[in-house]
Each structure stands twice: as C-alpha cells, then as structure tokens.
A and B are shown apart, each in its own frame.
Chain A
C-alpha cells in the first residue's frame, strides 16, 4: 500500500511541478536557516571535555565587602579567587586533583633563526592542572609540586608553539624565552583545545583562545608577569588591592576534580566552613553561605557565553521557518481540496478516511524529505558563511552526525505537521456531495 501511495504522491507532485518546487524551496529555506542557527547554538553549548566534565567543579567564594556595589559594567569580581584563598584551597587538598590558574600573554622569541617572534597566549597554573583536565602529552610531562614550591623556571609548550619557536616539537630539555625570562621545557602537549575554554576568565574569547604554554603560577607571582583577564581589586591599599598576592584582588580561577556525590557534599561543606572561618577572622564580610560550588556545565550556563545576537538569529530563523510552514499549510490545503473529486471517487470505491489521510500524509512527507535535502545544503552554505565571520565561535560551526540526522527529522516533522491539517480537512470531504457536484 505504501508503494502505491508513493506512486500517487509522486504523480500528484509532478502534476504541479512549479507549486511543488515552491513548497520544497520554502521548507528548504526555513529548515536551512533554522538548522544553521541551531547548529551554532549546539556547538556553543557543547560539553568541552566529554567524559570528564561531570567530575569537574569550580569553587566560588565571596570576599567582597558588604558595601561593595557591582556597577554592572564589566565582570563580577567574585567570579575569581584571590591569591590567599586559592592557595588555601590548594593546600587543603580536598579534591582528587585541583589547580589554580590564570591566563597570560607573553612575547615569545624564536630560538631558530628565520622564525618570527610572536605574542603567545598561555596559562600560569599549578602542577595538578595536567592530571585534572587530562591534558595529553606528546613529549615529556608536567612539572612537580616541588617545582611549584621552588618557583622553578620550567614550561610546558603546545606542539604548535614549539614548532613556531624551535621549528620542531621534540624540544624537551631545551630553553625557551618567554617575555624577559628563560624557561626549561619539560613537556610538549598535543593539540588540546576545549571549546569553550571553560577554565579561563570570562572576559576572554573563550571559543577561540587556545593555550600555547603553561608556566608555574608561583613564577608568574614572583616575577609579576602580565595577567590577561579580569583583575578586580576592592581596596585603596595598593598592597592588598592591586598586587597579585593581595587579599583584596581577585584574578585566579580554580578547578577541582570530585568523583563521588559524597566528595561534592564534603567540598561544599568545606567551602562554607572556610568562609565562616575567614569571616570570623574579619577578612570576609558576607554570609558564608555565599560560597558556591559549580559543576562544569552549570558554570558555563551561569556565565551565559552565547551572545545575544546568536539568540536573536536563532529566533529569527525559527520565525522564518514558522512562516514557511504556514505558507505550506495553505498551499497543501488548496491543493488537497482541489482534488476533492478524486478523493470522493476513492472514498466511493471503498477507501477509508484513514487511507486518504495516510495517502495525503505520504505526499506531505515526500515534500518534507525533498525540503530536508535542500535544507541540508542550505544549512551547509549557512555554516560555511558563519565560519567566515569574525566571531570567535566561527571555527566551531560544523555539523556533526546528530545535527545531520536532526535536520532530516525536523524537515520531515515540519512538513508532516504542515500536511496534517490539510489532510484531515481533505479526508472529511463528503463523497456523495462532491460526486454529484461534478
């Protein structure tokens, strides 16, 4: 029966080729625009570290004074930690792995002649960073906690930066010059670029930034290396309010691995206790319950990384799809009703309403499949144009297999939905009346 319906549908569609083309075009445009934007949103809200993200948490304290008012212009200072707090959490060692970190950009000088100097973006962090996030090493390894304590001048380079400075990647043991200082290369990491760069300060371009070097945080503090990202102080005293070790300047990010719900609950308790203790000491003024522990995906949701323009574009695309669908409903309705005579004959010959309904449904679905194919092509074109935009998420705009399947499902669903009302209306044609009229 299905083959027969297919045959009927194809014949009917061929009878009005222009109208069929119009409907396929309309649904193709609507689906193409929607899928482009849904894909962009999908990649922007993707899990940056699948498999690991469920066990990664970032603790947040609120060391701000009670009378501090956040202007709303710019990021919240309480998003980051101060040096004393980060060091206390690190020393407490309550998680499986934990690391404090901050971003920085240094001028990197090439070792081999003929190569260009460049500004390299990287991270100042502590020894556990690589184990915490599972950073894959190509050569060598990370540094040790002893290196952290001694503020040893060691560095881990990305494969990309190693090649830019040395012309090759196997450079463990060599000396790299970053900024004004020399560092001994202890490791080279393979390509590792979680997108978004969830562990970075929220003021950066988290979808495009990639770390190209890693240095001990203690070196950055000792040598007062430049920090990128938000550094907010809330004291007039220069020593506490605007120096890296200051207790009234937040600039560090902190991540911890917690494997079981019990560990998470323990860590939450620990944070509240720590805040209460700091409050008792007079350092914190706000209630200890302000201390919070975010899971990785919660933290991304909290930061709201998707720009307003992308939301607006998505709604625009969906609005467009909706108008296209109304358009198709009207056209299908007119088309099906025009075939009242044919439907009446089939009904008079014994076809049930359900049969008519299925027959017309197959015809709508066929339009949907054709529209989906066209929509897929249009979406690829749309994503290609997104990749050529200057936005930092541009490079991510690729369709994965689930999005490909989603496009077809959406197209067929949309056109079958659009066909429902016309098919229902058409199968209610009274056969006798129609036959008499013609």
Chain B
C-alpha cells in the first residue's frame, strides 16, 4: 500500500484530519485515565474483610432506659436469638464491625520505650506505635464472625471484662498488625502497651478489616479484645446459612421485642452483612458505573465522528474512486486506502493522546491523590482506539470499495 498518495490527499483536508486526530487524542487521554480510575475503585471495593460475609446478619437494639441491667439483658437476648432454628452462633458487639464506619481506635506500642517516645511527641507518627481499630464482643465472637485463627487461642470466659472502664489483659490481633508491631518475632506472648495498660497477645487471626478504610497499608490493623458490651445500645451478630438470613432478621426482631418491648429495634438498622458492605461502597460503585458509562459514551462519540467523516469523504471522492477503479485498482486497494488513511489519522491521535494522558494523570495526581498511570495502559489504549477506528471506518470503506468503475465516465 502506498502511503505517500494518502498523505498528500490528507494534506488537502489538513484541518479536518487534524480535528479528527485531536478528538482521538483527547478520547485516548480521557479513556486511559478513566479506565485507571475504574481499576482503582474496583480494587477498593473488592477488599476482603476476613469474616464470613454471606452468613452474617446484624440487628441493632437500643433500650429506652439507661438503668436497665445491660448484662442480664444481653444474656437473655443472646439466648433468645441462639434458640431460633437456623442460627449457628450469635454474639453481641458494642457497635464496631468491619466497614460499618464506627471506628474506635487506640494508640498501641510494641514496647515501653516507644510508648514514652510517642507520649513525648503527642503522636504515634514516626515511632513504632500504631493506631489499630478495637473490636469488642461477647464470647464466641471470633467463631461467629468466621475469622481464621492462625496461631494461639480464642478467649476463655476468664479473659472477659465488662464495659470499657477496665481494659482486658489479653487480646487477639491480626497478622498484618503482628507483622507491623513485632517484625520477625513470634507475636504470641508479646505485650502491647496501650496507655497505662499492658495487654498480652494470645492469638493471631489471618485477616480482619477495620470499620473504616484509610490506606491499604494500615486497613488490616485490628485488635479483638475480650470486652463485653455494656450499654443500652448493642448490635447482635447472627451467623446462619445465607438463605436463612431474611427470615432470621424478621423473626429475630420479633423475638427480641417479645423478650423486652422496652426498646427500639429499628427495621432500618437490621440487615444482612452483605447489605452493610454494599452500602459502605455505594459511592464507589456509583462512581464505577458513571466512569464506565462516560468511557463508553466517549468511545461511541469518537466512533461516530470517524464513521461520519469517512462517509463524507467517500461521497466526496466517489468520482476519483471510480477513476482509480477504471485504471486498474481492485476493490481491495480502495478498501485498504480508506483503512490506511484511518490508521494514519488515529496513529497521529494516539501519539498526541499518550502525552495528554500523562498530563491529565499529573493533574489528577495533584488534586485527587491518585497514583501514577502505569505505562502498560498506553499500548492497551492505543490498540483499543486502532480497533475502534478500523471498525468505524469499515462501513464507509466497504461502500467506497463498492463504487463501480463506470462512475468515472459520468460527470458528477
């Protein structure tokens, strides 16, 4: 295929060709960055919590009066819930569960020296101390949540304290936190310094995500400690087969109100855990939908532009196509002519688009704390646009190839 005649023909349509290339360039830049944003969000929403999400349901209960005996209330409620058919296990927590946004975190240090250092600085930054999220709950919480205990033991009934006036003596921590606090050491039996309290690590669970996400590096820093909730508001966590969840929520609410009508069991605050997770990420899923729609709409408009322009040029050049056909060009030659022309324009657009993509990424990095665009997005983006261009031009090019040589003999 001869490229030179195509180039000289394009020079006659310089402005139009440049505009089309410009459109391809901006589409390339925007779509590359949009796809990058989508991938980021997908990574965020697909984070693992470490708990048996599909089997859990939560019911929030809030007593009307504060002077009620909370321990007796919780014990009765737990027994009532446990007795329902289909419930595998049940536990009560004050409020925190992964991704429910009720974060309670403390400064925790691996040794006395770093605790003093952090106190002197008024901050854990720059010391070996961290701020993990604390999960409390009644006996059997680790089992109920379906956490995987990879070392040590679960709590025994002697470990438990009631309410947050006193701190428990032992705790179970996540693997991520163990590696951060005690790198290279066996975490079992180590001490955590938390304010004036010293807490011994007796177990390690594989993964337990925090109630709120910050950065992936610290999102797995969680501590479970044997502290029973002690207030008039409490959250019950039920584990069951996934198909039983809706029924158990309905029956659980009735059972709780039957056990004590002197409370609020708000139907808006009881749900399968998966709904809670979906709500946490709802903004991200909306954003993913919007971004994907925007990228598709952009590609669609660009394809329309390419196809529209190509069919114009085909109409405009009908006579010259006829002449070329009359002096021996095959249908394939004509088809290739338009395909090559499109390839050249799109290539020009992609070349400029690559630069624009990085400029756009730089702006986004500055304003939205986004990482740098990985290089491999560009060949993928280029390939996509080449394909799009070829697809869009195919129809008009086939129409051009179908022009009979006899057109050359007619005057337009």
Chain A residues within CB distance 8 Å of chain B:
19, 22, 25-26, 29-30, 33, 67-69, 71, 73, 107, 109, 116-119, 180, 308-309, 311-313, 316-317, 319-320, 322-324, 326-327, 329-331, 333-335, 337-338, 389-391, 421, 425, 438
Contact = CB atoms under 8 A, between A and B. Distances in A.
Contact of A330 (B16, B266, B279, B298): B16
A139 to B, nearest CB: 27
Q: Which of B37, B214, B309, B315 has the most CB of A within 10 A?
A: B309
Interface of B: 15-16, 19-20, 22-23, 26-27, 30, 34, 37, 62, 64-66, 122-123, 125, 214, 264, 266, 279, 282-283, 286-287, 290-291, 294, 297-298, 301-302, 304-305, 308-309, 311-313, 315-316, 367-368, 412
A67 B119 CA distance: 13
A26 B301 contact: yes
Contacts of A330: 16, 19-20, 23, 305, 309
A338 B367 CA distance: 44
A26 B300 CA distance: 9
* A interface: dominant SS: helix
Contacts, number: 113
Contact of A316 (B23, B122, B294): B294
B304 A327 contact: yes
5 contacts: A26-B305, A118-B264, A119-B62, A317-B294, A335-B312
A391 B284 CA distance: 11
Contacts of B30: 316, 319-320, 323
Contact of A313 (B290, B302, B316, B367): B290
A107 B309 CA distance: 66
A309 B20 contact: no
A26 B307 CA distance: 13
Contacts of A389: 282-283, 286
Given A109-B64, A316-B34, A323-B30, A438 B412 contact: yes
A331 B308 contact: yes
Contacts of A390: 279, 282-283, 286
A278 B309 CA distance: 73
Nearest to A327: B305
A402 B153 CA distance: 66
A405 B62 CA distance: 50
A205 to B, nearest CB: 12
Contacts of A337: 16
Q: Which of A116, A319, A326, A329 has the most CB of B within 10 A?
A: A326
Nearest to A108: B264
Contacts of B297: 29, 33, 320
Q: Which of A22, A180, A320, A337 has the most CB of B within 10 A?
A: A320
A334 B62 contact: no
Nearest to A309: B287
